[in-house]
Amino acid sequence: MDMTVAKKKLGLKERYAVMTRGLDWTPSYQKMEDIYPYIAYEGIKIHDWDKWEDPFRLTMDAYWKYQAEKERKLYSVLDAFTQNNGHLNVTDARYLNTVKLFLSGISPLEYVAHRGFAHAGRQFPGPGPRVACLMQSLDEIRHAQTQVHAVSNYNKYYNGMHDFHHAHDRVWFLSVPKSFFDDAITAGPFEFMVSIGFSFEYVLTNLLFVPFVSGAAYNGDMAAMTFGFSAQSDEARHMTLGLEVIKFILEQDPDNVPIVQRWIDKWTWRGYRVLTLVAMMMDYMLPKRTMSWKESWEIYFEENGGALFKDLARYGIKMPQCAEQIALEKDHLSHQAWSTFYNYAAAANFHTWMPDEDEMEWLSAKYPNSFDKLYRPRYEFWREQAAKGNRFYNKTLPMLCQTCQIPMIFTEPGDPTKICYREVDYKGDKYHFCSDHCKAIFEHEPEKYVQAWLPVHQIYQGNCFPEGTDPTVEGFDPLAAVLKYYNLEHGRDNLDFDVSEDKKNFAEWRGQATKNI
Amino acid sequence: MDMTVAKKKLGLKERYAVMTRGLDWTPSYQKMEDIYPYIAYEGIKIHDWDKWEDPFRLTMDAYWKYQAEKERKLYSVLDAFTQNNGHLNVTDARYLNTVKLFLSGISPLEYVAHRGFAHAGRQFPGPGPRVACLMQSLDEIRHAQTQVHAVSNYNKYYNGMHDFHHAHDRVWFLSVPKSFFDDAITAGPFEFMVSIGFSFEYVLTNLLFVPFVSGAAYNGDMAAMTFGFSAQSDEARHMTLGLEVIKFILEQDPDNVPIVQRWIDKWTWRGYRVLTLVAMMMDYMLPKRTMSWKESWEIYFEENGGALFKDLARYGIKMPQCAEQIALEKDHLSHQAWSTFYNYAAAANFHTWMPDEDEMEWLSAKYPNSFDKLYRPRYEFWREQAAKGNRFYNKTLPMLCQTCQIPMIFTEPGDPTKICYREVDYKGDKYHFCSDHCKAIFEHEPEKYVQAWLPVHQIYQGNCFPEGTDPTVEGFDPLAAVLKYYNLEHGRDNLDFDVSEDKKNFAEWRGQATKNI
Amino acid sequence: MSTVFLALQTNEETRPIIEAILQDNPSAVVDEQPAMVKINADGRLVVRRQTIEELTGRDYDLQELQVNMITMSGNLDQTDDEITLFWKA
Amino acid sequence: MSTVFLALQTNEETRPIIEAILQDNPSAVVDEQPAMVKINADGRLVVRRQTIEELTGRDYDLQELQVNMITMSGNLDQTDDEITLFWKA
């Protein structure tokens, strides 16, 4: 018989080898250290770059194919959502404040991540990590773009989103996520990969994208569900890359272990502090609660991170020490954060409010050890005051932690009635910290962190007023000047949800959408 | 100079010629009349099939490309809608009854249209109409499938949709749309093209798919919006085909004009009568009204159809006479229909209800000449009776029109207080009609219409009970037996919306979706 | 002259198309309906490929309009460069 | 053994994939969350192309899973025939 046998296509592993290592070459007329100048100074020793392999074995051709499909789906849904007036289907208008926070706090980080992976990937002599970093870099700019597109629909109707990028670079609390990523991209390429690729992507992003986006879906926000899960489908790949990078570095040389352990310790804590915003989104800002911050933390950090560090134990890597303090904080984090934003509602680009009675009950049930004892009485007092017309807006400026840049709102580990306060004297100046972990990070790299652009210091130094402002004139209103600098309109973009234009407009529009007269 | 000039691609018109007429051949060993046996008997004379040209000049390659894109978009949106619990975003649970009506009354027609175009297209000796009919045939089966897919999500939660195809072939009022299409596909190929392609698609489908689907979008039904507009994007092409077919036939031979005029008269009236269901969907079943039936009729029939017949006047074609009666009915149609379904709610596969006070006001405003005088008092009486526990369910069987199969509910042209009643004696039997137009249609083809399967007659003849039913036993409940035959559950699939499981479940589920306790 | 019309879905893809139509048809009037945009014009309405391409900055095949078209009225003629809707009377 | 998991979007495309996973992994447990399905398994979870193909009646490329994957936990290894998630300890 003369059967023709079809030539077998290359298998996935061979295709991956051909499309990564097969496309690489060894430079002949330039020295390796000139081409990859940042690869040595962090002290990481790599002996064989070819040991790095993407476990998904994704090659660029397949990457474009599946990303294009994700984009087509995403934009079909976004278009239909807008066409359908989907914004009126969110549970209630308070929900929109999560969108504002997401857009101004998180989307700009996606863009910085894009830059970070483009930069770090360029520095690695191995083709495997270069291709993986290129894909992640493209993913991240996609996320920034799709988030901006998705939210642009909300921006047509609701306040506070009109100049999100301007806000990201200026508004006080946004210096927390901004400085976190700035810290990462100004590190060396290996530390960047551990900070973002491993600690942030593998250990922490689940907490941002999974339960929150799942919650957004059940709060009627099909746009957030769609961009969120579309982004998260890339994150699954990022997480794999993050885990792979750690294993690769650790397997290359035992000298790498203590360096990597320090980075893991630092970046787990740094990332956790940034997630303070997410904790409060989950527990306070989704009108329909789907999972508490504490439950999310237990599933995605304690259980999942626990399994991870048990697995990494064979390399000598340990669960970061900060996990102990985090465990103590999980009953308090979201409440302390929300209290702060309730206080500072006059200076934010979104609205805050006191939870209603049902929501208080939900919080009691989810936080039996802390809520009724410590936070409910405070809320009830504020609610009472607001009902009397004394809604409290804190107009003094808080002390910030030099490392995480969060106001000093956190309590002593084990004593939730006492503010935790640490300080360090360095070259004649005093620096303040919210915790032992932020203090330790500073102490290891003081020359980096003394440069921090702290919003409160900057306001006091007169750097956060519109150009030409004279703060010495009589009756000068510093808050008004700062809001102008933020490009926020007092009484429209800030203050309590109850007095907001958003609340009024949403009620009116939803009414129009359901009534015939 | 020796510039290389890129070879120009074929233009659209050349491509169309190559991909239609260019693919045709003249049969050599079979006679034309054997291959196309149905082409002569209707009396239509065609001299040059090549004069038929699709004005879109769509060829099969482009067809597949754009249809695939439509499908990708559609299923992305349907998936996201389901994932997001989109069904809870409809204005209120009454809306769902439009979906039930659509699925059992209209979707099966899409399937019959698919068969009709496959059959008619096969009969035309010209390659232009054959390709156009092939595309439309594929479109129609796509519509049937996407509608069933879209509605299958609702079927998981709400009653009355569980066996829509069974219902279509049995439930009394569904014989109206069913018999309409059966009438068309049992006609010759030219009459089929005029009935469906021109009269239904060009003159009437706008009224079904455009204002109703647009209204569904603003009643929160993203699924209906998406399948509706996706289908309608094909309809735009069908309409063009419908207009082209008429112009082509008329231009071929002056003898064709009176034949075509008769078909237009007949099918405009037949189609209009079927749209009675749509009139009531627009005015009563969309909780958020977006346009009244009367307004839709004025825009899409009077204005648009007026322009069309003015344009066709050059061929000697006139606006169908029935337009005069339709103009008189537009203030009454939806109200008379809704009253009927309110009466017969015990025997339907969806729920009915009395409009609330705001809705009555909207109806008054939209129908100043008729609503307050004729229909509001009736509704107020029924509402009062229902409040006293006497919600009226009519259990007698109505007389049906032999042609359109609608109960004799319509009033005399010009006298909305008197039921219109016409009759014809034919071969010793008496036949009843709702109007002069239905009577005239019968009289032209009595041998066709005496065969009508009229649900009321069939029930009386004992043909609509489950097999083995003995209607002579004591206490026999005919309605119960008929509902069993329909596969509808009494008390669940039928009766007033107010006492329905749908209402109760929707309220409970929406509550769960927004409350935290 | 009778009115011709073209109705398109309200979405990002049709925005520049509607803009192009308004630019090319002085008599065109936009009627915004729920989830759709109906463009009415007096007797004749032209959709020009070149104008869409100028507004979007990319190649455009007029057959793409199939995806977002909802309905229309009038006789139609389509070439590579234009879609024309018109009444003869 | 620690838990590995894979979370997928709740939609028509993932239904047969989830079914395949449950069929191939006796320890797999489904945790339905809003808009997503999380599948937990004890130490190891395998997604097999062949099982998906049997259930869907069409060719399936495991890389398609990229489109509907939300998150996962564990070391990963992907070949033409299987995606495996596992902990070594």
Quick: pLDDT tens for B268-319: 999 999 999 999 999 999 999 999 999 999 999 999 999 999 999 999 999 9
pLDDT confidence band for A8 (50 / 70 / 90): confident
D20's tokens: 């395949």
Residue of B nearest to A84 (CA): B217
Question: Which residues share a beta bridge with B411?
Answer: B419
CA–CA gap between residue B411 and residue B435 (Å, rounded): 9
Chain B touched by D71 (CB under 8 Å): no
Q: What is the mean pLDDT of chain D?
A: 95
Question: Which residues share a beta bridge with B218?
Answer: none
- Hunting for tokens 């996973």 — which residue is that? D21
Residues D88, A314: C-beta atoms closer than 8 Å: yes
- Closest Cβ opposite residue B84 in set D12, D13, D35: D35
CA–CA gap between residue A390 and residue C76 (Å, rounded): 67
Residues B76, A76: C-beta atoms closer than 8 Å: yes
Query: Is residue A467 packed enough to be buried (19+ CB in 10 Å), middle (13-18) or exposed (0-12)?
Result: exposed
Residues C12, A84: C-beta atoms closer than 8 Å: no
Chain B touched by C69 (CB under 8 Å): yes
- Closest Cβ opposite residue A214 in set D2, D36, D78: D36
Q: Give the mean model confidence (pLDDT) for residues D47-68.
A: 96
Residue A83, min C-alpha distance to chain C (Å) = 5
CA–CA gap between residue A72 and residue A362 (Å, rounded): 39
- The CATH code belonging to domain C3-86 is 3.90.56.10
Question: Are chains A and D in contact at 3+ CB pairs closer than 8 Å?
Answer: yes
- Could you tell me the CA-to-CA distances from A26 to A21, A252, C36 in Å, in that order? 11, 21, 58
pTM metric for this prediction: 0.93
Residues A290, D70: C-beta atoms closer than 8 Å: no
Chain A touched by B76 (CB under 8 Å): yes
pLDDT more than 70, % of chain A: 98
- Closest Cβ opposite residue B239 in set C33, C68, C71: C71
- Closest Cβ opposite residue A226 in set B80, B85, B516: B80
Residues of A in contact with B76 (CB under 8 A): 72-74, 76-77
CA–CA gap between residue C73 and residue B308 (Å, rounded): 8
- Closest Cβ opposite residue B236 in set C34, C69, C79: C69
Q: How many CB pairs under 8 A join A and D?
A: 97
Please tell me the predicted confidence (pLDDT) of residue B207.
Answer: 87
Name residues 12-41 of chain D within 8 A of B (Cβ).
12-13, 35
CA–CA gap between residue A414 and residue A156 (Å, rounded): 46
ipTM of this model? Answer: 0.92
Counting as contact any 3 or more CB pairs under 8 A, the partners of B are A, C, D
Residues of A in contact with C35 (CB under 8 A): 83-84
Q: How many CB pairs under 8 A join A and C?
A: 13
Phi and psi at residue C86, to the nearest 5°: -160, 150
Residues B75, D35: C-beta atoms closer than 8 Å: no
For helices A60-83 and A127-155, give the axis angle rounded to 10 degrees: 10
Please tell me the predicted confidence (pLDDT) of residue B160.
Answer: 97
Residues B75, D12: C-beta atoms closer than 8 Å: yes
Residue of A nearest to B78 (CA): A77
- Closest Cβ opposite residue D67 in set A56, A69, A247: A69
Domain with CATH 1.10.620.20 in chain B: 12-163+175-329
Please tell me the predicted confidence (pLDDT) of residue B208.
Answer: 83
Chain B touched by C73 (CB under 8 Å): yes
Residues of B in contact with D10 (CB under 8 A): 82-83
- Closest Cβ opposite residue A358 in set B222, B225, B517: B517
Q: How many CB pairs under 8 A join B and C?
A: 97
Residue of B nearest to C64 (CA): B66
Residue C33, min C-alpha distance to chain A (Å) = 11
From B157, B257, B175, B216, select the one nearest B456 (Cα to Cα).
B175
By DSSP bridging, strand D44-48 and strand B411-412 are unpaired
Query: Is residue B388 packed enough to be buried (19+ CB in 10 Å), middle (13-18) or exposed (0-12)?
Result: exposed
Q: Give the mean model confidence (pLDDT) for residues C64-87.
A: 94
pLDDT more than 90, % of chain C: 98
Express each pLDDT in A404-420 by its tens digit: 999 999 999 999 999 99
CA–CA gap between residue C10 and residue C70 (Å, rounded): 10
Quick check: A208 pLDDT over 90? no
Question: Are residues A325 and A257 in contact, defined by beta-carbon separation less than 8 angstroms?
Answer: no
Residues in chain C: 89
Burial of A248-269, coded b for 16+ CB within 10 Å and e otherwise, reads: bbbebeeebeebbbbbbbbbbb
Q: Which of C37, C76, C81, C86 to mutate: most B Cβ within 10 Å? A: C76
Counting as contact any 3 or more CB pairs under 8 A, the partners of D are A, B
Residue of C nearest to B55 (CA): C77
Chain A touched by B146 (CB under 8 Å): no
Q: How many CA atoms lie within 13 A of C19 on its CB side?
A: 13
Question: Are chains D and C in contact at 3+ CB pairs closer than 8 Å?
Answer: no
Residues B82, D13: C-beta atoms closer than 8 Å: no
DSSP 8-class letter at A407: B
Chain B touched by A469 (CB under 8 Å): no
Residues of A in contact with B510 (CB under 8 A): none
From B313, A121, B135, B100, select the one nearest C87 (Cα to Cα).
B313
Please tell me the predicted confidence (pLDDT) of residue B440.
Answer: 98
Q: What is the mean pLDDT of chain A?
A: 94
- Closest Cβ opposite residue D34 in set A55, A56, A215: A215
Residue of B nearest to A222 (CA): B84
Please tell me the predicted confidence (pLDDT) of residue B3.
Answer: 61
pLDDT confidence band for A6 (50 / 70 / 90): low
Residues of A in contact with D88 (CB under 8 A): 311, 314
Please tell me the predicted confidence (pLDDT) of residue D89.
Answer: 81
Residues of A in contact with B91 (CB under 8 A): 513-514
Residues of A in contact with C16 (CB under 8 A): none
Express each pLDDT in A450-474 by its tens digit: 999 999 999 999 999 999 999 999 9
What CATH superfamily is the domain A12-163+175-329?
A: Ribonucleotide Reductase, subunit A (1.10.620.20)
Chain B touched by D68 (CB under 8 Å): no
Residues B77, A72: C-beta atoms closer than 8 Å: no
Chain B touched by D10 (CB under 8 Å): yes
- Closest Cβ opposite residue A311 in set D69, D70, D89: D89
Beta-carbon count within 10 A of A391 CB:
19
- Closest Cβ opposite residue A307 in set D3, D69, D77: D3
Question: Are residues B410 and B419 in contact, defined by beta-carbon separation less than 8 angstroms?
Answer: yes
Q: Name the strand (E) or helix (H) holding B411.
A: strand B411-412
Chain B touched by C4 (CB under 8 Å): yes
What pLDDT tens digit does each residue of chain B (517 aa) get? Answer: 566 666 678 899 999 999 998 999 999 999 999 999 999 999 999 999 999 988 999 999 999 999 999 999 999 999 999 999 999 999 999 999 999 999 999 999 999 999 999 999 999 999 999 999 999 999 999 999 999 999 999 999 999 999 999 999 999 999 999 999 999 999 999 999 999 999 998 888 888 888 899 999 999 999 999 999 999 999 989 998 899 999 999 999 999 999 999 999 999 999 999 999 999 999 999 999 999 999 999 999 999 999 999 999 999 999 999 999 999 999 999 999 999 999 999 999 999 999 999 999 999 999 999 999 999 999 999 999 999 999 999 989 999 999 999 999 999 999 999 999 999 999 999 999 999 999 999 999 999 999 999 999 999 999 999 999 999 999 999 999 999 999 999 999 999 999 999 999 999 999 888 888 6
CA–CA gap between residue D62 and residue D79 (Å, rounded): 8
- Give me the residue spans of the domains in chain C: 3-86
CA D29 to chain CA mean position, Å? 11
pLDDT confidence band for A209 (50 / 70 / 90): confident
CA–CA gap between residue B129 and residue B39 (Å, rounded): 13
Q: Give the mean model confidence (pLDDT) for residues A327-354.
A: 97
